[in-house]
Amino acid sequence: MLSPAEVENFITRIEERVAPAEKAVSEAWWKLGTTGTEEAQKELVEAGNAYNRLFADKDEYRKIRGWYEGRSSLENPILRRQVEVLYTEFAGKQGEPEILERIEELEAEAESVYSNHRGTVGGKEVSDNEIRNILRTSGDDALRREAWEASKTVGREVEETVRELARLRNRLAREQGYENHYTRSLKLQEIDPDELARIMGELESATDEPFRELKADLDEQSRRRFGVEITMPWHLPDPFFQEPPEDPDLDVDRYFKGKDLEELTRRTYDSLGLDVRGVISKSDLYERSGKSQHAFCITIGREYPYDVRVLANIRPDAYWMDTMLHEFGHAVYDRHINPNLPYFLRSVAHTNATEAIALMMGPLATEPGWLASVAGAPEAELRDDAEKLKARQRASDLVFTRWALVMYHFEQTLYADPDREDLNGIWWDLVERFQLVNRPPDRDEPDWAAKIHVAVTPVYYHNYVLGHLIAAQLRDHLERYVTHGPFYESEAAGRYLVESFFGPGARDDWQTTVERATGEELNPDYFVKSLF
In sequence order, what DSSP letters do the residues of 373-399 get, joined into one string? HTS---HHHHHHHHHHHHHHHHHHHHH
In this structure, is residue 133 part of a structural domain?
no
Q: Which of 84-88, 132-136, 193-197, 429-433 has the lowest mean pLDDT?
A: 132-136
Query: How many structural domains does the chain have?
Result: 1
**Domain-embedded: residue 141:** no
Ordered DSSP codes for 397-434: HHHHHHHHHHHHHHHHHHHH-TT-TTHHHHHHHHIIII
DSSP annotation string for 211-241? HHHHHHHHHHHHHHHHT-SS--GGGSSSTT-
Q: Is residue 473 part of a domain?
A: yes
Contact of 353 with 470, CB cutoff 8 Å:
yes
Q: Where are the alpha helices (DSSP H) in 478-520?
A: 491-497, 510-518
Contacts of 529 (CB under 8 A, 6+ apart): none
Dist CA 421 CA 404 (whole Å): 23
Task: Express each pLDDT in 459-492 by its tens digit.
Answer: 999 999 999 999 999 999 999 999 999 999 999 9
Q: 1: buried, middle or exposed (CB in 10 Å: 19+, 13-18, 0-12)?
A: exposed
Whole-number pLDDT of residue 414: 98
- Read off the pLDDT of residues 401-446 as tens digits, 9 standing for 90 and up: 999 999 999 999 999 999 999 999 999 999 999 999 999 999 999 9
Three-state DSSP state, 146? helix
Residue 338 inside a domain? The answer is yes
The Cα angle at residue 91 between residues 28 and 423, in degrees rounded to 5: 75
Gap between the Cα atoms of 150 and 41, Å rounded: 25
CB under 8 Å to 158, separation ≥6 — which residues? Answer: 110, 113, 114, 449, 455
The vertex-352 CA angle with 306 and 7, nearest 5°, equals 65
Q: What is the mean pLDDT of residues 157-175?
A: 98
In angstroms, the Cα distances linking 465 to 163, 234, 403, 405, 470 are 25, 25, 10, 9, 9
C-alpha–C-alpha distance, residues 174 and 192, integer Å: 18
Report yes or no on 209 lying in a domain.
yes
Q: Residue 510: what pLDDT?
A: 98
- In the prediction, which pLDDT does 531 show? 87
CA gap 94, 314 in Å, rounded: 39
Predicted confidence at residue 85, as pLDDT, reads: 98
Residue 471's domain comprises 194-247+255-529
What one-character DSSP code corresponds to residue 284? B
Cis omega before residue 210 (within 30°)? no
CA nearest neighbour of 464 among 377, 354, 362: 354
Question: Is residue 259 included in any domain, yes or no?
Answer: yes
pLDDT in the model for residue 252 = 93
- Is the model's pLDDT at 246 over the cut of 90? no
Say yes or no to pLDDT of 1 above 80. no
Q: pLDDT tens across 188-198, in order?
A: 999 999 999 99
What angle do helix axes 181-188 and 193-226 make, rounded to 10 degrees? 110
Per DSSP, the three-state class of 178 is coil
Reported confidence tier of residue 249, pLDDT bands at 50, 70, 90: confident
pLDDT at 532: 83
165 assigned to some structural domain: no
In a domain, 396, yes or no: yes
CATH number at residue 459: 1.10.1370.30
Q: How many CB atoms lie within 10 A of CB 403?
A: 22
